[in-house]
Amino acid sequence: MIAPRRDSTGGERLITPADFFSTDQEKIKLNWFLFEYALECEAFIRRDKKLRSRLGRKEADDRAIASFCIHYAKQMRNEILDRVSGRIANIHIGYEGIESYFPQIGDELVDRLLTKVAEAWDSQTGACVGCPTRCISEKDKRAPMFDDRFYWE
């Protein structure tokens, strides 16, 4: 068995590429972008120790946070597709997905999480500007990164 990948803090990586595809046909660049966005959300939340502590008191541990980041990133799929197709002018980073995933955390923590996922969005899309992979403009093309052993070992 292969040991689980470690994150930058030495902990087990809780978000993996496998969370974003279930068939070989789903190994596309849009799903890779969503994987990277989920990682970025997790990183922004993890860096806010006060937020993590308060979420922990609401029974939202690191695994729950990672699961939320995966869920939230996947929810962005339709928003991205609507933007790329021209159906909407701007991406909406909303609180609704946070409230539905964590109904027990209250408005203040929802607002803090909303800030973090918005900061993560800005960070992720900012990095995309200079990235040659073009995950959004080539959204349906195969993403070879899904098969890169680096992410699996």
> Which two structure tokens, joined as six digits, stand for 16?
């993996």
Give yes or no for a contact between 70 and 38, defined as CB atoms under 8 angstroms apart: yes
Other Cβ atoms within 10 Å of 4 Cβ, number: 13
For 76-110, how does the pLDDT look when each residue is reduced to its tens digit (9 = 90+)?
999 999 998 999 999 999 999 999 999 999 999 99
Average pLDDT, the chain: 91
Q: What percent of the chain has pLDDT over 90?
A: 84
User: Could you give the dihedral angle defined by the CA atoms of residues 53, 58, 5 and 149, in that order, rounded to the nearest 10 degrees?
Assistant: -120
Q: Amino acid letter at 32? A: W
Q: CB within 8 A of 103, min separation 6: which ones? A: none
Q: Amino acid letter at 11? A: G
Q: Quote the CA–CA distance of 78 and 144 in Å, as a whole number.
A: 23
- 33 DSSP assignment: H
Local structure of 142: helix, strand or coil:
strand
